[in-house]
Structure 1
Amino acid sequence: MADYPTISEQVDDLESSRTEGHRKMDWAREHMPILSAIQDEFEADKPFEGERIGMAMHVEAKTAVLVETLAEGGAEVAVTGCNPLSTHDDVSAALDEHPNISSYAKHGVDDEEYYAAIESVIAHEPTITVDDGMDLVAAIHEDYPELIDSIVGGAEETTTGVHRLRAMDADGELKYPVFAVNDTPMKRLFDNVHGTGESSLANIAMTTNLSWAGKDVVVAGYGDCGRGVAKKASGQNANVIVTEVEPRRALEAHMEGYDVMPMAEAAEIGDVFLTTTGNRDVITEEHFEKMQDGVLLANAGHFDIEIDLDQLSDLAVAEREAREGVREYEMDDGRRLNVLAEGRLVNLASPIALGHPVEVMDQSFGVQAACVRELVDNGEEYDAGVHDVPDELDVEIAEIKLDAEGVEYDDLTDEQAEYMDSWQHGT
């Protein structure tokens, strides 16, 4: 396995970097009551003594709170990034200072460095994996299958990773259990809708210093992430156009009042294009050729394959950095098409990349922490494959959040519970 240096061995001016990283983490922690409550439990019980947790995540302040929460539970944690541009080096350096944490994440790495860091995490021989995009799971299965028997299980954070895992499972190639954290309500209904919607639009606005009002915004894909983007863009007085390949989602977008049309038609109209599909080749040469001068192209899917940048570069007669985080491609007819964040996750890879709001990620990472605890407590009950998160874990996280917010809610009476559980009661 590769001997890739930890972040402490890479970062210049290490002490000031760590200080700034801790400052970011402290602010996030103040607004993460779920993980704070879980960390108190973990510190008291030390449920992860003897466990080695390997993680490939977006290494920034909110993720760092999750990493420390697991480490405070007694685990040895090795972590690296899941995107070359989403790591905050100061946060990575602060994490690496913890005696139970080794951080290999570094911003701006090339492909070779990216995968070398993943191999360094694997070198710790994890007993549990926590992934965002499935690169860590894939690398273990492809290159280090001898480690699989000692892995209790894993948890996957994002839509793209769950899709990959289900495909792997369908082929009979997934050899240990993995929880689909992305699919659980406390993640999907808040992180994907509100988190992606708010953070994507905010980062585009900060990167470009342009307004949403009156613009034609093309949202590719109307899953949970696309639904959130469309809702938030509409709330900022943009005209929203949705493109879809799934008829029921297309109908849902239509019934929500959005214009729905093929990308080939939307390409002629849009001012801003934001892809949220998790699939490849969503915007290609045929669309570039129809676009107006000055359009913005951004991606909120996990990988940088939704906008075909190779085709765009081949079409361009000139390229330049029009603004930090914005690459301008000039066509032979003078039109300029602008790509944000190199076509990577715009809310995490743009110059002012803060990711999802803190409160939203507290919920998602609370589910992650509960899943790791479930694997340690009951891992032998799960066969190899993709598993739904047990509903009681999801409910537990919601209860912690509501309590922290001071929100009270009703309970079913005994009679109501009996009625709901019975098939014998009719009208």
Structure 2
Amino acid sequence: MEYDIKDIELADAGLERILWADRDMPVLASIRERFERERPLEGVRIGACLHVTTETANLVRTLVAGGAEVYLCASNPLSTQDDTAAALVKHYGVPVFAIKGEDTETYYNHVDAIIDAKPQITMDDGADVVGRIHESRPDALASIIGGTEETTTGVIRLEAMAKQEALKYPIVAVNEAKTKHFFDNRYGTGQSTLDGIVRLTNRLLAGRTFVVSGYGWCGKGLAMRAKGMGCNVVVCEIDPTAALEAHMDGFSVMPREEAAKIADIWVTVTGNLNVIDEPCYKNMKSGAIICNSGHFNSEINIPWLEEHATKKQELKPMVDEYTLEDGRTIVLLAEGRLVNLSGAEGHPASVMDMSFANQALCAEYMLAHAKDMKPDCYVVPEDIDNEIARVKLETLGVTIDTLTDEQIKYMNSWEMGTV
């Protein structure tokens, strides 16, 4: 078995952490039990480009239990947990190509290793495998029947491909499932981003001005959690409806150039390019901390900092201070990469339980239905979404109401009005 990881000797420690995460992933565990019985993915090759974390390891275990042959690489150069990668290789026999801190060349070599396996299903987080295949590895298309996509940034790329008729096979946008973005994006990103910032800086958050660029589900969760930690939260937005919602949720809303003047900590969660850019840097107060919790580090214009700084100093691992020509300093965390995975452990297992339940079930769905699907970006079928929510509630010991026959009849009629 070919693989490329940091150190196989880390495997036993990684196994312990994988099993610890598994305790808080009961939905995925229930799917794994069924997959072991039914083997719905028997003989299917899956090429997965995901964050190599303990939660991902439990997804991989589930896919393998279903009969799949899984090849895994990292979806970000800084998000790999090296002990998890080792455990997957040693204890589960999964070819893993991921090393925390790998350079860009190694990163794409690892992506190519996944593509070389000739996967039938791609499983992406950020659409780098899909992009690579379509741009420079069209030879892989012959074996692929479909794919899944985990995150907002990847869905944006795939929808652009579909719109331009460049996408060559169907992909289910797992990120669009209610049981994914309502929970993973909001509660997962909200908690794990603050976790990464605190671990890297050990700064007190209470009383700080905390700027959030982007008020989608990730931004909502982050703003809510920062407020709960005592921050004065400012939201920057381009969408008038999202900005209005942020305002009515009790947050200050202002343009980025104004926010730069008061920001103590600034986090981007937009999925766009150069969100923190030259106009921000010129207004930013000395000592401001900037970081990103979106998928790609392009949300922060790091080349501008590199070009205009008179000095760059690593204060501690993944904490870099740039001194500008006028003497002001700006602190960048985790090279502008996902601060929640680079500086901490990413989302808690309980929310990834639902996200990865979607991945597992959508792989099964894709195998059964891809032949009838045109190349496009699809939402998760509602019955899958609802079943995951139902099972999650059951594992939490929460029961809900059901409609009576009388109510069902009323909901399906039009005759009854004002009485």
Q: TM-score, normalised by structure 1?
A: 0.95
Residue from 186, 189, 194 that aligns with 2:187: 194
Aligned-residue offset at 1:402 = 0.9
The answer to whether 1:409 aligns with 2:406 is no
Q: Is the 8 A contact 1:220 1:277 kept in 2?
A: yes
Which letter maps to 1:157?
E
* SS, match of residue 225 in structure 1: helix
Q: Is the 8 A contact 2:52 2:84 kept in 1?
A: yes
TM alignment of 1:66-81, pairs within 5 A: 66-81=59-74
Distance of 1:279 and 1:348 partners within structure 2 = 19
2:3 paired residue number? 6
Distance of 1:374 and 1:11 partners within structure 2 = 34
Q: Deviations for 1:275-313, whole angstroms, at most 9, x for unmatched residues?
A: 011001111122112111111101011000111111112
Q: Is the 8 A contact 2:290 2:333 kept in 1?
A: yes
* SS, match of residue 305 in structure 1: helix
1:419 paired residue number? 410
TM alignment of 1:12-31, pairs within 5 A: 12=7, 14-15=8-9, 17-31=10-24
Q: Is the 8 A contact 2:2 2:95 kept in 1?
A: no
Residue from 268, 275, 292 that aligns with 2:268: 275
Distance of 1:315 and 1:146 partners within structure 2 = 42
Distance of 1:377 and 1:286 partners within structure 2 = 50
Distance of 1:144 and 1:421 partners within structure 2 = 51
The answer to whether 1:385 aligns with 2:367 is no
* Structure 1 range deviating more: 201-210 or 164-173: 201-210
* Runs of 4+ displaced beyond 6 Å: none
* SS, match of residue 101 in structure 1: coil
Distance of 2:70 and 2:225 partners within structure 1 = 36
Q: Deviations for 1:111-135, whole angstroms, at most 9, x for unmatched residues?
A: 1111111111111111111100000
* SS, match of residue 95 in structure 2: strand
Aligned-residue offset at 1:69 = 0.7
Q: Is the 8 A contact 1:71 1:100 kept in 2?
A: no
The answer to whether 1:304 aligns with 2:302 is no
Which letter maps to 1:379?
A
TM alignment of 1:23-422, pairs within 5 A: 23-98=16-91, 101-350=94-343, 353-422=344-413
Distance of 2:414 and 2:132 partners within structure 1 = 48
Distance of 1:242 and 1:108 partners within structure 2 = 31
Alignment CA distance shift 1:423-1:388 (3 Å): farther
Which letter maps to 2:403?
L
* Structure 1 range deviating more: 230-239 or 409-418: 409-418
Which letter maps to 1:161?
G
Distance of 2:310 and 2:410 partners within structure 1 = 69
Aligned-residue offset at 1:5 = 5.3
Q: Deviations for 1:55-104, whole angstroms, at most 9, x for unmatched residues?
A: 00000101110011101111100010000010111111111225652111
Distance of 1:426 and 1:153 partners within structure 2 = 47
Q: Is the 8 A contact 2:15 2:91 kept in 1?
A: no
* SS, match of residue 108 in structure 1: coil
* Number of equivalenced pairs: 418
Distance of 2:265 and 2:181 partners within structure 1 = 25
* SS, match of residue 297 in structure 2: coil
* SS, match of residue 297 in structure 1: strand
Distance of 2:119 and 2:243 partners within structure 1 = 42
Q: Is the 8 A contact 2:11 2:91 kept in 1?
A: no
Q: Deviations for 1:193-223, whole angstroms, at most 9, x for unmatched residues?
A: 1100110011101110011111111100111
Distance of 1:383 and 1:88 partners within structure 2 = 36
Residue identity over aligned pairs, in percent, reads 46
Q: Is the 8 A contact 1:320 1:329 kept in 2?
A: yes
* Structure 1 range deviating more: 278-287 or 135-144: 135-144
Distance of 1:235 and 1:421 partners within structure 2 = 43
* SS, match of residue 290 in structure 2: strand
Alignment CA distance shift 1:201-1:420 (3 Å): same
Q: Is the 8 A contact 1:284 1:312 kept in 2?
A: no
Which letter maps to 1:174?
L
Q: TM-score, normalised by structure 2?
A: 0.97
* SS, match of residue 98 in structure 2: coil
Aligned-residue offset at 1:266 = 0.6
Q: Is the 8 A contact 1:218 1:273 kept in 2?
A: yes
* SS, match of residue 67 in structure 2: coil
Which letter maps to 2:327?
G
Unaligned runs of 5+ in 1: none
Distance of 2:411 and 2:11 partners within structure 1 = 54
Which letter maps to 1:34?
V
Distance of 1:424 and 1:114 partners within structure 2 = 62
Aligned-residue offset at 1:413 = 1.3
RMSD over aligned CA atoms reads 1.4
Which letter maps to 2:377?
V
Q: Deviations for 1:340-367, whole angstroms, at most 9, x for unmatched residues?
A: 00000000112xx200011011110011
Q: Is the 8 A contact 1:77 1:100 kept in 2?
A: no
* SS, match of residue 36 in structure 1: helix
Q: Is the 8 A contact 2:116 2:140 kept in 1?
A: no
Distance of 2:92 and 2:310 partners within structure 1 = 52
Aligned-residue offset at 1:415 = 1.9
Which letter maps to 1:11?
K
